[in-house]
Amino acid sequence: MLGGLPNINIKPLIILGAGASHDFISDLSYRDPGDEHRKPPLANNLFQDNPFFRGLKGVDQFKNIQSLMGNVVKRMKLGRSLEEVLDDIQNNPNEEKQFKEELPILKNYLAFLFSKISYHNISFAGNNYQIFFRSIMLSCEDCLVVNFNYDYLAQKAISDTYNFEFDHFIRYLNKRIKLIHIHGSVLWGISNEGDYKLKTGYGDKVFSNSAITIPTIKGKNFACPIEQQEYLDTNISSVNVIVIIGWKGKEDHFKALLNTIKEVHRIIIIGGSDKSNNECLKNSGLSRFRCEKIYVKGFLNFLDEYTDFSTDVKEEHIF
């Protein structure tokens, strides 16, 4: 997949959206019929009724946002995405006061939920994240990973594959894989002084003040330590290959950074359909690059066909 490029030092940018974690293992890997409810959800399924979410011990502490979640689901039936609906709510003067009160509860609910989801999925050995990171690191010296997911599934896969722990924030940036949780992580919290705190280990407990940002489109900020933001600001412009897995390309704050990239030799999009992949290119502004663009439907299909990243690209995937 990275073969056939000019004689260059490949510097990939890997972008992980909700679709990457949702599709990180094969459905056939689940051991009983109830397991599929534990899959990391796509954004539009976050507030849908789910027996696994409903049955989690401790979920009752978030009953104060049940009306908000029900209202969001109702509005989504009109064809709006979760992010669009939350945008509408936070920008509506009539709902602004109540939403500000609900916001910290919503953040902690999402951290609670994705911590449980992460914990219940880490036991799947040989998952797609593990295969992906092992394969790509055989093709390049290092890579930059921007992860939009709250879960720790990608981080755990990197830790397992390369046998090192993310036990300090500097460890996210000083290895061959530079991992940035741009919207926060269930392993991170915020102290009373506003500093980031890191939980070591991969359990299902979370900080009381979680370091994540809610899923909206406009007005969204980074939720990662300043060192990671500065690293992105300094280094993203030099990437020359972009691999996107399950990301819609709509976050304005990140698109501004993508605009600083000077030259791209290949863009690989792993998503749901040709239509959604084209929308990702348009939304993100990456359509401006006149380079080879490759679409593959689904994380599983991609790894089935391109486990070896040096493999030549199939003609039907080039657009």
pLDDT level of residue 101 (50, 70, 90 thresholds)? very high
DSSP string, 176-226: SEEEEETTEEEEEEE-TTS-EEE--S--S---SSEEE--S-STT----S-H
Contact 82, 72 (CB under 8 A): yes
DSSP element (H, E) containing 294? strand 292-297
The pLDDT value given to residue 290 = 92
Contact 30, 124 (CB under 8 A): no
Question: Which whole number is the average pLDDT over 89-96?
Answer: 92
Domain spans, the chain: 12-29+125-317, 33-119
The pLDDT value given to residue 274 = 73
The pLDDT value given to residue 305 = 86
Instruction: For the chain, give the number of residues.
Output: 319
Residue 141's SS3 state is coil
Cβ-based neighbour number of residue 300 at 10 Å: 17
* C-alpha span between 169 and 216 (Å, rounded): 26
Asked whether residue 122 carries a pLDDT value surpassing 70, the answer given is: yes
Asked whether residue 191 carries a pLDDT value surpassing 90, the answer given is: yes
* C-alpha span between 25 and 125 (Å, rounded): 9
Query: Which residues are 243's β-sheet partners?
Result: 14, 268
pLDDT in tens, 295-316: 999 888 888 888 778 777 877 7
Asked whether residue 28 carries a pLDDT value surpassing 60, the answer given is: no
Output the six-digit token pair for 235.
Answer: 């280094």
The pLDDT value given to residue 125 = 81
Domain 12-29+125-317 CATH superfamily: TPP-binding domain (3.40.50.1220)
* C-alpha span between 259 and 271 (Å, rounded): 22
pLDDT in tens, 211-251: 999 998 777 788 999 999 999 999 999 999 999 999 998 88
Asked whether residue 1 carries a pLDDT value surpassing 80, the answer given is: no
pLDDT in tens, 243-283: 999 999 888 889 989 999 999 999 999 987 777 788 899 99
pLDDT in tens, 59-84: 999 999 999 999 999 999 999 999 99
The pLDDT value given to residue 33 = 62
Mean pLDDT estimate for the chain: 90
Alpha helices in the chain (DSSP H): 18-22, 51-54, 66-76, 82-90, 96-119, 128-137, 153-162, 226-235, 252-258, 274-284, 299-306
Contact 158, 178 (CB under 8 A): no
Q: Which residues contact 309 (CB under 8 A, 6 or more apart)?
A: 1, 2, 3, 135, 136, 138, 139
Percent of the chain with pLDDT strictly greater than 70: 96
Pairing type for strands 177-181 and 292-297 reads unpaired
* C-alpha span between 185 and 122 (Å, rounded): 15
The pLDDT value given to residue 32 = 66
Output the six-digit token pair for 71.
Answer: 């209202």
Distances (CA, A) of 251 to 16, 79, 217, 296: 13, 19, 6, 22
The pLDDT value given to residue 253 = 85
Name the packing angle between helices 153-162 and 128-137 (round to 10°): 50
Contact 228, 173 (CB under 8 A): yes
- Rg of the chain, C-alpha, whole Å: 19
- Confirm whether pTM is higher than 0.75: yes
